[in-house]
A and B are shown apart, each in its own frame.
Chain A
Amino acid sequence: MARRVNLLGGAVFVAVLLVWELLVRTGILSFSYLPPPSDVAGGLGQLIGNGELGSALGHTLGAALAGWAIAGVLGVAAGSVLGLVRPVWTYSMASLEALRALPIVAFVPVAVLLYGFSVQTEIMVGCYAALWPILLNTISGMRTEARMVESGAVLRLSRAAVLWKIRLPAATPSIVVGLRLGLSISLVLTLVAEMVGNPAGLGFLLVEKGQALQPGQMFAAVFVVGVSGIVLNGLVLGAARLAFRGQLAASGEVA
């Protein structure tokens, strides 16, 4: 994927913003609380200026990353066991699938009930949400092609060596996909937990600015949420490419 600068696309993006600005300023689009982009930029300036944005962003990212990290350790460990040990899979997978059918957001009230209005609520919710994609992708990644394992046997590798040199590298691309999905879901659910539970971070900032009728600052917060999602995803992808270049290239993830 050669990266060319998409001038046309950028121009359209700017044009959309300009049209939005014009429509609101001329009163053609008349919602009482729809700010023009210039107000959003102003709101962003105010949020950065009084330091609200920095602390909220730090809080949310910290909670989302903590939940994600715990989910990563648990998910890869449990997923490996489930993927490698057939009886464990047979006697627990259906339970996991039944649990997975429960909509994740419906757990937010339960977490608030159990942990109250604390940062633990956020971390638990983020962790639970991120656990699923990581777990399921690890399980499917560990189902290595039989031929690869057989070649390990031919080479007289020990069981540990087969695990370390064949199964784990083969599972890496799939685990990385799970980790990426997990991080974005963890961020979203952390925001939800902040909206209905713990009054802190970006999620609460959004609700607070909405209730204070500060649409400019609220849209600015939404913008920041979007950008931080893109940046986090990019960071995970970049880190994975650096660390597992060979494995990802072998699976065609990196062209």
Chain B
Amino acid sequence: MKGTPVRGLLPLVALLVLWQLTGDPASPYFPPPSTWVDGVAPLVDADKLLGALGQTSLTFLIGLAIATALGALIGTLVGASRPVDRALSPSLEFLRALPAASLVPVAALVLGYTAQMKLVVVVLPAMWPILLTCRSARRSLSPVLLDTPRTLGLSRWDRATKILTPALLPAVLLGVRVAAPLALIITLLVEIVTRVNGLGALLGAAQQNFLSAQVYGLLTIAGVLGFMVNWVVTRADNAIGRRMRGTA
């Protein structure tokens, strides 16, 4: 990202141009890029694409928000006390080792093929990076930082909002930076596997019907979505980070 020369895009562009020039438009495997637009067009005409994008983005955003809140809360609580940490860490370690993919059929069976099921599957794995960074940040907070406001007689609420939150915010942001692309991937994953709404469901359906141009078209759209998420997260992270350093 930082300092990557734009010249580096040349091979990708060359490859796409070559593909376009030599590709056979009727190829069931490698349709050239110009056919991708036509492949996706029927979805736009049927008003399916925008709705699907909306559902995917909504699941992603709400899932990430819940994951951030839960991860920050649990991480802070677990990191605050050594015994709690020791008591919970084996259970947490095991939960963390479960790949998101294996949760999908379980959630589908227990919760049904619903939007809530999608959220649960997104929240669980996206929570970990935030929980872990928050836990280790809370653990390494200097005791002086925590004792000073107590000496000054600040209320519990003031201590939480004025001392703890600013101190842990960078850790939460770091976690979100890792969790955001993960949440998007898992959102698409649930949709591809369960076919419940969204871009992933369209992608899965296109593959099942052997609409290869549509598959590549949707893949490109998913890529743009992924790129946007990365861009926004990096920007937000830098902006907030600069402000925090400015006031510190």
Contacts and interface: CB of A to CB of B under 8 A. Distances in A.
Interface of A: 6, 8-13, 16, 31-34, 89-99, 101-110, 112-114, 184, 187-189, 191-192, 195-196, 202-203, 206-207, 209-210, 213, 215, 218-219, 221-222, 225-227, 229-230
A209 B12 CA distance: 42
B7 A105 contact: no
B4 A215 contact: no
Given A13-B94, A94-B8, 11 more contacts: A10-B90, A12-B91, A92-B8, A94-B5, A94-B9, A98-B223, A102-B226, A188-B101, A189-B101, A196-B193, A202-B102
B185 A91 contact: no
B168 interface: no
A32 to B, nearest CB: 8
A221 B181 CA distance: 27
B219 A106 contact: yes
Given A192-B101, A195-B101, A225-B98, A13 B90 contact: yes
A90 B86 CA distance: 47
A31 B8 contact: no
B78 to A, nearest CB: 12
B6 A103 contact: no
A6 B85 CA distance: 11
Contacts of A96: 8
A209 B109 CA distance: 10
9 contacts: A9-B91, A32-B110, A92-B11, A93-B4, A98-B227, A104-B185, A105-B185, A109-B192, A109-B206
Q: What 6 pairs between A and B have smallest CB-CB spacing?
A: A94-B8, A109-B207, A95-B12, A102-B223, A9-B90, A101-B227
B219 A107 contact: yes
A188 B8 contact: no
A108 B102 CA distance: 16
Nearest to A185: B99
A172 B106 CA distance: 38
Most chain-A Cβ atoms within 10 A of its Cβ — which of B86, B102, B110, B204?
B102
Given A6-B89, A101-B223, A31 B29 contact: no
Contacts of B5: 90-91, 93-94
A201 to B, nearest CB: 12
Contacts of B106: 206, 210, 218-219, 222
